[in-house]
Amino acid sequence: MEEQPDRWLEVERGPIVRPYALTRGRTEPEGEAFHLISVVQARVEPGAVSRAEPEHHLLLTLCQRPVSVVDLASDARLPLGVTRVLLGDLRHRGMIITRPAAARNDGAVDIHIIREVLNGLRAL
Amino acid sequence: MGSEPSDTARLTTTKIVIAGGFGVGKTTMVGSVSEIRPLFTEEPLTERSVGVDDLALVDRKTTTTVAMDFGRITIRDDLVLYLFGTPGQDRFWFMWDEMTYGALGAVVLADTRRLTTCFPAIDYFEERGVPFLVAVNCFPDTGSHDPADIAIALDLNPGVPVLLCDVRRRDSTREVFVRLLEHVIAESPQALNGAHHETG
């Protein structure tokens, strides 16, 4: 049985603590929204965050390489909304950078990326 | 600004939305072609019809956590396709806008025994101009169907592809996504390159 990373979660039931206790009641991140598949990446080592902030530390550890917001929430086993608030904190401190997904401002996606995905699917 | 991580670490992320009634096979479809990943998300307990401003502070903290899945296909180390199945129950409509934003396109998964359950999804994607196709999941006891008849029954616009599939089979599911992206490219204003431009 795993212990430490899962102590606030049960596999079936989700968090044991009320999720927004981890965010001190905040439900929205500071600044721009984090889309589901926006990419985040750490600009600093995990040690830049004190272990007194274990969830921030965990997220920073898990985004040393570029990772999408949903993968990060899944990896961290933190609820999506909580993950976004904590990422907002890290961004506010300049500890992560965010890149948008392939979508442009109007929500459309460049056609050459669609073709690449199509070719990749055909090769699956 | 000089300390940005290098471009070699770039990651491009894309997504496809899979919609359809509860129990039609969305999760099976995602699982047949991709790595399934668990995600916890927060569901507002309050009605969405209440004014947004009223929800801004106190009520938005009134949430419960629900488990949902998404699919992940690694096309290349630096290119990932995510598959998001829209929640089947009406109370999850709040997730649809977020799932649909920036999606390459959508699959409406239909069950011929309950065709009407996919009307809301078709309306949703039509209204927002999201390219989609209808994939009819052929359950063993549904007999054979003609896609043309289904297109009529669903009152689809001309050009919206309808195909039969078996979502349990990887090759069949993959074909659905391949056909979707071919449709997306064919319909794309970028592909038309200004040769034909509709304003309405």
Domain containing residue A75: CATH number: 1.10.10.10
pLDDT exceeds 70 at position B78: yes
Q: What is the ipTM of this complex?
A: 0.82
Mean pLDDT on B147-157: 93
Residue B197 pLDDT: 43
Interface contact B80-A35, CB threshold 8 A: no
The Cα–Cα gap between A56 and A46 comes to 9
Angstrom distance (rounded) from CA B38 to CA A11: 10
Low-confidence ranges of chain A (pLDDT < 50): 1-4
List, in order of start, the domains of chain B with CATH numbers: 19-194 (3.40.50.300)
3-class DSSP state of A59: helix
In a domain, A35, yes or no: yes
Q: Give the whole-angstrom CA distance, residue B169 versus residue B75.
A: 19
pLDDT at B119 exceeding the cut of 70: yes
Going by the DSSP 8-state scheme, the letter that residue A64 receives in this structure is S
Query: CA of A51 to nearest chain B CA: how many angstroms apart?
Result: 24
Q: What does the pLDDT average to over B120-130?
A: 93
> Is there a contact between A121 and B73 if contact means CB atoms under 8 Å apart?
yes
Alpha helices (runs of H) in B34-165, residue ranges in sequence order: 52-55, 96-100, 119-128, 147-153
Q: What is the pLDDT of residue B188?
A: 86
- Residue B146 and residue B150: Cα distance in Å, rounded? 7
Count contacts between A and B (CB, < 8 Å). 141
Which of residues 90 through 109 in chain A touch B, CB cutoff 8 A?
Answer: 97, 99, 101-103, 107, 109
Q: Which domain holds residue A99?
A: 9-123
Going by pLDDT thresholds of 50, 70 and 90, the confidence category of residue B164 is very high
Q: For residues B95, A70, B33 and B151, what is the CA-based torsion angle, rounded to 10 degrees? A: 20
Residue A2 counted as domain residue: no
In a domain, A3, yes or no: no
* Spatial distance between the Cα atoms of A64 and A78, rounded to a whole number of angstroms: 17
pTM to 2 decimals? 0.83
Q: A20 in a domain, yes or no?
A: yes
If one compares B135 and B197, the residue with the highest pLDDT of the two is B135
Give every strand in the sheet of A96-99, ordered side by side.
Answer: A67-68, A39-42, A96-99
